[in-house]
Structure 1
Amino acid sequence: MSTAMPFDADPALMSDVTAAVRTAGRTLRDRYTPHARGVSLDEVVEEIHANDDAVLDLLREPLLRARPGSRWAEDELAGGALPTGEWWVVDPAEGNINHVHAMPDWAVTATLVRDNQPVLTVVHLPLTGDTYTAVAGAGARLNDRPLKVSAKTDLGAALVGTGQAKPGEDKDTFRKIGESATVMLTDALVVRVSVPATMQLIHVAAGRMDAFWQFSDVRSGLVAGALLVSEAGGTVTDLAGEPWSTAAEDFLATAPGVHPAALKTLSPIARP
């Protein structure tokens, strides 16, 4: 992914997006419980849908109003390229499965994508009150502090991670996830396998983790973190080493110093 074409964002746009995401976050926080909700699969899915339904309308109209002419990407689990123009790619409960199971790793995200490149994003963590923001060409921030990726150059010293993008993906994707975790257990220091992607990518952008990869093209889990990592000085490509966009079939975001080694380890699995 490249930020060679900076996004000239009206400061009011970032303010409006942040306000909408935080409002949605308060509602989602109020729905959070100290115990897991749902026993059967049907009950868990029902809880997930209820979370989405509770906050989606708090995001859709404010975001479309904040950017006249923009459109809404309806399916949060969809992947692949979008038509040209500006689109809101939103996850009203990123890490919804964690929310339902009384775990803290979840957020609300809203990203403006222009011609298949993310150009503005807000990621809000309601439980901590932290807000991550980025604008193409203008850097990434945690609250009021600039973000910077790790300075590591040795993959053997790196904390890295991956995870699945959605339940029920094809067996080939699951095979790649398993193989990649195995080889990284040898080549890296520590491997995390968890969901959602955004919660790992904010750690890469903040220099707490050194690499994240995913064998999937689900847009809503990648666009926010891709922009945050890129604007924090990281390297974001597909697993062939080409610049990433929403049209890519897989994803790698790293500190620049470990990107070549991570790519060497992972690309044979992605494209045998």
Structure 2
Amino acid sequence: MNDEVRELRELLPAVEAAVRAVGARLAAARPAEPIPGRTAAEAMAHFAELDGPAAAELRARLSELRPGAGWVTDELEGAVPAEGEWWLCDATDGAVQYLLGQQQWAVTATLVRDGAAVLAVVHAPQLGGRTYRAVRGGGAELDGRAVAPPERELAVAVAGTSQPPLVAADGPALRRAGASLTAVLAEVLAVRNLGPTALQVAQVGSGHLTLFWEYGMDAGNLLPGALIAAEAGAVVTDAAGAAWSTTSDSFLAAPPGLHGEVLRVLATVA
């Protein structure tokens, strides 16, 4: 175990504790019924009343752990600094589900160094308290046990997908998202969108989803799950098979034996 892995593994329990504390507070505050709001502005105002204090608490806890790390203020923008050490976090990943009183939401915390994730925690408080965590070069865990993606035939695969928050403004990504859905549906058992992007990508690492793909730039949502999936042994690339980075305009995570097959399916999307 090298020094960086040792340092990150020592930091991991404290990060998980911070994420769990914020998750517990949000879970206790989440209404059972959908948050009222006829317009998007009204709904988001209600949400901000809950998410704002939770985000501030998460920032305070993590800043105490790494006083020298910066803070990415808006994970929806997708821009991740290429240099230095930064926290990229989402107190309520899956805001849409949270607003509707559903349980498919998570709290995420990712430590980024020079544009790459080196530590990630994804915690789903109301899905059995399931917690994924990983450090770069140190493997991935689900609830304290090491995970790896099982190999399956494409015909029995359950695929996950989603869209970046601002995909409607990205015409090519919007078109490819629709075309790829048609292409993948013809080859797999089922396609689902199971809530937070980070959680779905992490689930590829443990086999709870077989694969996940997406079009559009979405680094803020993809980074934590991408690290977890890759450390578990999944292959993480863009939709053309090139190495995925925070500036990639597409994403694919799949088990090694299936990744090439999925690339061939996605290659039919012009």
8 Å contact 1:27–1:54 — kept in the other structure? no
Q: Secondary structure at the match of 1:169?
A: helix
> Is 1:225 aligned to 2:236, yes or no?
no
> How much has 1:28 moved relative to structure 2?
0.7
Residue of structure 2 equivalent to 1:19: 17
Residue of structure 1 equivalent to 2:157: 158
> How much has 1:64 moved relative to structure 2?
2.0
> Is 1:46 aligned to 2:45, yes or no?
yes
Q: Structure 2-normalised TM-score?
A: 0.92
Q: Secondary structure at the match of 1:77?
A: helix
Alignment of 1:1-80 (within 5 A): 7-41=5-39, 42-80=41-79
> How much has 1:17 moved relative to structure 2?
0.8
Aligned pairs, number: 266
Letter in 1 for 2:201: L
Letter in 1 for 2:77: A
Letter in 2 for 1:38: P
8 Å contact 1:5–1:137 — kept in the other structure? no
Whole-angstrom CA distance in 1 between matches of 2:6 and 2:246: 21
> How much has 1:203 moved relative to structure 2?
1.9
8 Å contact 1:165–1:196 — kept in the other structure? no
8 Å contact 1:81–1:246 — kept in the other structure? yes
> How much has 1:54 moved relative to structure 2?
2.2
Residue of structure 1 equivalent to 2:95: 96
Residue of structure 2 equivalent to 1:107: 106
Larger RCO: 1 or 2 (CA < 8 Å, sep 6+): 1
> How much has 1:186 moved relative to structure 2?
0.7
8 Å contact 2:131–2:143 — kept in the other structure? yes
8 Å contact 1:72–1:88 — kept in the other structure? yes
Range with bigger deviation, 95-104 or 56-65? 56-65
4+ long deviations beyond 4 Å: none
Whole-angstrom CA distance in 1 between matches of 2:5 and 2:245: 16
Gaps of at least 5 residues in structure 1 are none
Letter in 2 for 1:39: G
Q: State the Cα deviation string for residues 170-228 of structure 1 (Å, max 9, x = none).
A: 24322222111111111222111353212311321111211101112222211111011
Q: State the Cα deviation string for residues 23-56 of structure 1 (Å, max 9, x = none).
A: 1101111111111112312222212322320201
Letter in 1 for 2:120: T
8 Å contact 2:234–2:256 — kept in the other structure? yes
8 Å contact 2:106–2:196 — kept in the other structure? no
Q: Supply the RMSD in Å over aligned alpha carbons.
A: 2.0
Whole-angstrom CA distance in 1 between matches of 2:167 and 2:193: 17
Whole-angstrom CA distance in 2 between matches of 1:210 and 1:21: 26
Letter in 2 for 1:215: Y
Range with bigger deviation, 127-136 or 11-20? 11-20
